[in-house]
Chain A
Amino acid sequence: MVERIEDLNLPNAVIARLIKEALPEGSNVSKEARAAIAKAASVFAIFVTSSSTALAHKQNHKTITAKDILQTLNDLDFESFVPLLSQDLEVYRKMIKDKKESKANSKKDASTGDAATSSSNTFADAIEMVTEA
């Protein structure tokens, strides 16, 4: 599945931007610190994934759900993430729902050639493209 170990690295530029946002203006980050945070983030994702998988299996579920992840974060003492994550998840679900509805509508409207809805959908479409790749 993973051909090269670099495939597990997260992009440096994005990590750098996230760190910069989290720190007060004018502070710097050493290269070594940035690399360590990037590596830690990959390990965190693997750690949470395998813990949530274990939790799902314990309940005789084959695949992990959003609930499993939130529960795992609680169990691993990262409960401070949960409220914000739940909010974002709700926005995400609403976005997916809206997207589905507008897709259904645009099928109906296909004959009228209504292009007005297409611009609001670009991000949702991008997500779909990325995840399908």
Chain B
Amino acid sequence: MVDKDASLTQPQRKPNADTFLPLSRVRTIMKSSMDTGLITNEVLFLMTRCTEFFVQHLAREAHTAYCGKAGGGDTLKYDHLSQLVNKTKNLEFLLQIVPEKIRVHEFQEMLRRNRANGGDDDSTSESESQSESE
């Protein structure tokens, strides 16, 4: 039913009113945000479509910026995404969601340094007490 040629990647893409993502799921996600009032069908359509754009935007940007460089082949990897998020201003809201991976010993080194600083950093002492309680 969905025309393959109308793919969002094509610059000459035909405008259309078909969505790929399920509207009901997007509605649930929108409602999970505080204070969201009524959601009209029009707003729901717009949000669904713009989330689709976002998925494709993220994939495309990460791919063009980092894929195929340093002999990594043509596979989009997690690290490409975290690098992109780290370097792009309007993706700042994803810093906690797609963090750069660090090695265990690097993390331990970080903890040690924070302890040495006397734990004056609020967020660090919080996360430490969390890991201790687990």
Could you tell me which A residues sit within 8 Å of B by CB distance? Answer: 1-2, 7-8, 10-11, 14-15, 17-19, 21-24, 26-30, 32-33, 36-50, 53, 56-57, 62-66, 69-70, 73, 76-78, 80-81, 84-85, 87-93, 95-96, 123, 127-128, 130-131, 133
Contacting pair B21 A46 (CB below 8 A)? no
Minimum C-beta distance from B23 to chain A (A)? 5
For residue B69, CB closer than 8 A to chain A, the reply is no
Chain B nearest Cβ from A47, distance in angstroms = 5
In the complex, chain A residues whose CB is within 8 Å of the CB of B9: 21-22
Contact check, B26 vs A14: say whether CB atoms are below 8 A apart. no
Question: How many angstroms from the CA of A120 to the CA of B64 in the assembled complex?
Answer: 39
In the bound complex, CA of A90 to CA of B97 (Å)? 33
Q: Which of A2, A43, A85 contacts B53 (CB 8 A)?
A: A85
B55 touches A15 (CB 8 A): yes
Please tell me if the beta carbons of A36 and B15 are within 8 angstroms of each other in the complex: no
- Are A89 and B46 neighbours in the complex by a CB distance under 8 Å? yes
Interface extent on B, as a size class? 35 or more
Distance to closest chain B CB from A115 (angstroms): 20
Known A46-B29, A69-B50, A84-B53: A133·B76 in contact at CB below 8 Å: no
Q: Do A1 and B31 touch across chains, with their CB atoms under 8 A apart?
A: yes
A22-B9, A29-B76 known; A123 vs B1 contact (CB < 8 Å):
yes
| B133 proximal to A (CB < 8 A) | no
Contact of A23 among B16, B52, B63 (CB under 8 A): B63
Give a binary string over B26-37; 1 marks a CB under 8 Å from any A CB, 0 the rest. Answer: 111111111111
